[in-house]
């Protein structure tokens, strides 16, 4: 957003800065007991930094990275009494603040073992039974954390945080990997913390989720990766409107769900049966107490098949069967066995363990693609990978890691591309860019893609055909054969 169009005061006090003036955060919201503050803003604008400062994980340095101030100087810098009181209480131990991180990889590192036992261990408020019911975790209590899908892990993490006793709770993108129904239920659970007079601050890209959840909205504006300015609190309606009017360029308007469905001709390409392309047999797999049956299907060149379904219905398991990382227990088709194909798979939860820079990682993993002019123009430029090239992979934000992971997936030569939740951790503009990148790459390259996606607008924009995963979640589910976009959407939304 151009500086002259900013709604916010760019002269606001610098609260925190990073090495070499890489990023500065100006301003800070004031948590208030019994209320939920929603944070909206593009990626790289300071939402996670704001939450980590409020949780006490980061100490405000007032932009003085090389010569950080002491707490006396920090406290004297606050012009609002509420900020001063909050940090004094935090320092003296009168206020306990907890945070749910954005990166679910951290949860895998911290929590190991049985889900039920871990929840018992953290149930300070005696709320386990109620929260497990509300977040639909009862069927997962006998599972290990390492076996949970992204959506299941997200719900587990929300449960752990909301069961603990605290004065302030910070949630960083709690709707990621959750389907529409589960987002509503998660919002209600988070909102219930207000009944204990606790302060809650939530950063998320789902505006409907934040609208339902929040009492007030703070917009973060500025230049991503350079500086971010936290606005004063708005009413929910005014805050969302301010963000949409001022912080999103007009080009981020997304394709219409209704118009895309209406454009799908009955009997057109979307309704033809797969031919001369990738086919897979009817098969089934059992993992622990969960069983998935996959109906025979396939796709043709230049076609994107979107996989829809609620969390726990086997979407990721289906992709892993196609990728070959899981083997079916039973193949029911006459053409027994999985086909021999080259696949490229982008996992749902991405790892950022490499100490290499992005440039080195691309050179090692996709040496031919990342310098090829067409790949650069079709994939790397729209995803703005050039801005990340000299950044260590371990220091990438979740949104940046998502863009790099998508680039790596598409850069690998393959016949079939398997992409699990490409919209996760991306803001509105980046989701549109990712959608256009996937669609153009698959169509130009005459490849095939299977994409798992919860964002209905993005799914509709991408889909040539649709597979619906349905059944008893985390127990017994079926992945349908591919069907037309119109019939698939009707099936899923019914």
Residue for token pair 């049985």? 114
Kindly state the tokens that stand for 216. Answer: 């007030």
Rounded to whole angstroms, the Cα distance separating 220 from 1 reads: 11
Contact (CB, 8 A) for 228 and 45: yes
Q: How far is CA 55 from the centre of its chain?
A: 21
pLDDT (0 to 100) of residue 428? 84
Give the number of other CB atoms < 10 A from CB of residue 133: 11
Q: Using CB atoms within 10 Å of the CB of residue 154, give its burial: 0 to 12 exposed, 13 to 18 middle, 19+ buried.
A: buried
> Which residues are CB-neighbours of 51 under 8 A, at least 6 positions away?
39, 99, 170, 171, 172, 201, 203
Q: Are strands 283-287 and 330-331 parallel, antiparallel or unpaired?
A: antiparallel
Kindly state the tokens that stand for 361. Answer: 């990682």
Of 356, 352, 325, give the one whose Cα is nearest residue 338.
325
pLDDT (0 to 100) of residue 252? 37
Question: Rg of the Cα trace of the chain?
Answer: 23
pLDDT (0 to 100) of residue 338? 65
User: Which helix (H) or strand (E) element contains residue 477?
Assistant: strand 476-479
Question: pLDDT of the chain along its 494 residues, tens only?
Answer: 434 344 444 457 899 999 876 799 999 999 999 999 999 999 999 999 999 999 999 999 999 988 999 999 999 999 889 999 999 999 999 999 999 999 988 898 899 999 999 999 999 999 999 999 999 999 999 999 998 989 999 999 999 999 999 999 999 999 999 988 899 999 999 999 999 999 999 999 998 899 999 999 999 999 988 999 999 999 999 999 898 886 544 433 344 334 344 443 433 333 334 445 789 999 999 998 899 999 999 999 999 999 999 988 999 999 999 999 999 999 986 565 566 789 999 998 887 777 899 999 999 999 999 999 999 999 999 999 999 999 999 989 899 999 999 999 999 999 999 999 999 999 988 998 999 999 999 999 999 999 999 988 899 999 999 999 999 998 999 999 999 999 999 999 87
pLDDT (0 to 100) of residue 270? 35
Q: Are strands 234-235 and 216-223 parallel, antiparallel or unpaired?
A: antiparallel
pLDDT (0 to 100) of residue 354? 77
pLDDT (0 to 100) of residue 380? 98
Kindly state the tokens that stand for 326. Answer: 């899981």
Beta bridge partners of 481: none
pLDDT (0 to 100) of residue 1? 40
pLDDT (0 to 100) of residue 333? 66
Rounded to whole angstroms, the Cα distance separating 456 from 367 reads: 34
Which domains are present in the chain? 3-248 (3.40.50.300), 257-493 (3.40.50.300)
Residue for token pair 């790099």? 404
pLDDT (0 to 100) of residue 105? 87
Rounded to whole angstroms, the Cα distance separating 242 from 244 reads: 6
Kindly state the tokens that stand for 199. Answer: 């302060």
pLDDT (0 to 100) of residue 294? 97
Kindly state the tokens that stand for 417. Answer: 């591309």
pLDDT (0 to 100) of residue 174? 97
Of 168, 177, 184, give the one whose Cα is nearest residue 134.
184
Give the number of other CB atoms < 10 A from CB of residue 439: 18
DSSP string, 327-345: --SEE-SSS-S-----EEE
């Amino acid at each position: 957003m151009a500086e002259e169009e900013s709604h916010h005061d760019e002269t606001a006090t610098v609260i925190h800065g990073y090495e070499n003036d890489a990023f500065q955060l100006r301003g800070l919201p004031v948590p208030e007991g019994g209320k939920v503050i929603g944070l909206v803003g593009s990626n790289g604008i300071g939402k996670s930094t704001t939450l980590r400062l409020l949780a006490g994980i980061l100490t405000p340095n007032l932009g003085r990275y090389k010569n950080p101030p002491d707490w006396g100087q920090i406290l004297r810098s606050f012009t609002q009494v509420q900020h001063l009181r909050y940090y004094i209480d935090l320092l003296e131990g009168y206020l306990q603040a907890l945070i749910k991180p954005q990166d679910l990889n951290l949860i895998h590192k911290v929590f190991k073992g049985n889900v039920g036992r871990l929840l018992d261990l953290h149930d300070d408020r005696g709320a386990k039974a109620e929260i497990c019911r509300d977040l639909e975790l009862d069927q997962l209590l006998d599972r290990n954390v390492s076996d949970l899908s992204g959506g299941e892990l997200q719900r587990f993490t929300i449960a752990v945080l909301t069961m603990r006793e605290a004065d302030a709770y910070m949630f960083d993108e709690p709707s990621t990997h959750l389907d529409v129904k589960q987002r509503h239920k998660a919002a209600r659970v988070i909102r219930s913390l207000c009944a204990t007079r606790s302060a809650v601050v939530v950063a998320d890209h789902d505006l409907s989720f934040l609208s339902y959840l929040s009492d007030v909205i703070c917009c973060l504006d500025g230049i991503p990766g350079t500086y971010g300015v936290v606005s004063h609190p708005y009413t929910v309606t005014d805050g969302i409107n301010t963000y949409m009017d001022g912080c999103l360029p007009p080009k981020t308007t997304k394709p219409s769900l209704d118009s895309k469905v209406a454009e799908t001709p009955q009997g057109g390409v979307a309704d033809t049966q797969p031919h001369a392309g990738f086919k897979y047999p009817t098969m089934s797999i059992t993992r622990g107490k969960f069983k998935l049956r996959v109906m025979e299907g396939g796709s043709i060149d230049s076609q994107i098949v979107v996989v829809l379904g609620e969390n726990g219905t086997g979407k990721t398991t289906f992709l892993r069967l196609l990728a070959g990382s899981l083997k079916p227990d039973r193949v029911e088709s006459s053409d027994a066995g999985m086909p021999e194909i080259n696949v490229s798979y982008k996992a749902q939860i991405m790892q950022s363990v490499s100490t290499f820079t992005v440039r080195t990682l691309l050179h090692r993993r996709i040496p031919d693609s990342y310098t090829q002019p067409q790949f650069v123009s079709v994939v790397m430029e729209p995803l703005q990978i050039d801005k990340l090239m000299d950044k260590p992979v371990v220091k990438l934000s979740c949104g940046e890691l998502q863009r790099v992971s998508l680039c790596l997936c598409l850069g690998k030569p393959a016949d079939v591309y398997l992409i699990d939740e490409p919209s996760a951790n991306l803001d509105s503009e980046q989701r549109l860019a990712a959608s256009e990148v996937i669609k153009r790459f698959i169509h130009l390259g005459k490849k095939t893609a299977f994409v798992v996606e919860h964002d209905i607008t993005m799914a509709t924009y991408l889909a040539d055909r649709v597979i619906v995963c349905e059944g008893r979640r985390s127990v017994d589910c079926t992945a349908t054969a591919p069907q037309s976009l119109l019939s698939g959407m009707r099936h899923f939304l019914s």
